[in-house]
Amino acid sequence: MTTLTVNLLDDTSVNTALRVLGNLTQMPSESPRTMEMTVTDPQAVAPEPAPTGNESAPTGNESAPTGNEPDTSQPDTNGLMWNEAFCSKPASLNADGTWRAKRGKKDDYDAAVIAAIAQSMPEAKSPTTQNETEPSPTATMPTMPAASMPAAPAPTTPAAPIEYDAMARRFMAMMESGAIQDYNAVYQALQIDYQQLETNQTMIAALWHYMDALESGETHDAAVRHALGS
């Protein structure tokens, strides 16, 4: 009797057993052979798998407390409090004083640090708010020096009224000399009203200035302009 031991976890052993059994079925009946097959218990003989090199080394995040854990009531060097959602348990600090992140939670830790920094920064005021809160400087107009006003002309002494008799004598003398040839033309040009002439100082003065211009050599028209402008 032949004994065949088969290890079901070994492909080579299983193939060998199947090949032997197949040969036995093909042997002539006159030479029967007896074979005893022993199946080995896989749980008892299964070898431990060889290390593949892909296993990650222990991180220490799941280690039992040692009594030397840092104080979780104090923030780390990033100002972040320990949070079991993304920090290793038991609590542990890296060499730089930051909390050691839980495996696969490093991004969550970094996001929490960024949020903490953003909250600690003062809120920047918008330009509109600054314009509303800060009073605008009051424009001060420069003081202009007082413009020097021209001195008022000294009051002129009013000309002494011309007597009618003196004007009449002078006018008659110039008519006799031929300097005044047509007194009606003179009266019309100077708008003289004979009925008011004796008491109207304006008309008396106009005739007087007309005679001044004639004695200065002016023509009749020029003397009229001179009399009306005086």
- Does residue 82 sit within a domain? yes
- Does residue 64 sit within a domain? no
Residue 11 domain boundaries: 2-41
One domain, residues 31 and 86 = no
- Does residue 149 sit within a domain? no
CA distance to 113, 125, 132, per residue, from 122 (Å): 16, 9, 19
- What's the pLDDT at 163? 92
One domain, residues 35 and 78 = no
Two tokens at 104?
């696969």
Each as own residue / partner, the long-range contacts of residues 114-123 (CB below 8 Å, 24 or more positions apart, any chain) are 116/78, 116/79, 116/80, 117/78, 117/79, 120/79
Two tokens at 27?
């042997």
One domain, residues 176 and 220 = yes
Q: Are strands 35-40 and 2-7 parallel, antiparallel or unpaired?
A: parallel
- What's the pLDDT at 65? 56
Q: Which of 220, 223, 215, 207 is nearest to 169 (CA)?
A: 207
- Does residue 150 sit within a domain? no
One domain, residues 36 and 82 = no
One domain, residues 224 and 168 = yes
Angle at the Cα of 48 (from 43 to 52), degrees rounded to 5? 145
Q: Of 93, 120, 147, which marks where a domain is finished? A: 120
- What's the pLDDT at 158? 60
- Does residue 59 sit within a domain? no
- What's the pLDDT at 54? 46
- Does residue 129 sit within a domain? no
127 CB-near residues (< 8 Å, 6+ apart): none
Between CA 166 and CA 215 the distance in angstroms is 16
Q: Which of 37, 29, 30 is nearest to 1 (CA)?
A: 37
- Does residue 13 sit within a domain? yes
Q: How many domains does the chain have?
A: 3
pLDDT profile of the chain (230 residues), mean per 10: 65 74 60 54 51 48 62 88 90 90 91 81 54 59 63 64 92 93 91 90 93 93 89
Q: Which of 85, 30, 39, 91 is nearest to 60 (CA)?
A: 91
- Does residue 61 sit within a domain? no
Q: How many CB atoms lie within 10 A of CB 75?
A: 14
Between CA 200 and CA 194 the distance in angstroms is 10
Burial grade of 205 (CB within 10 A; 0-12, 13-18, 19 or more): middle
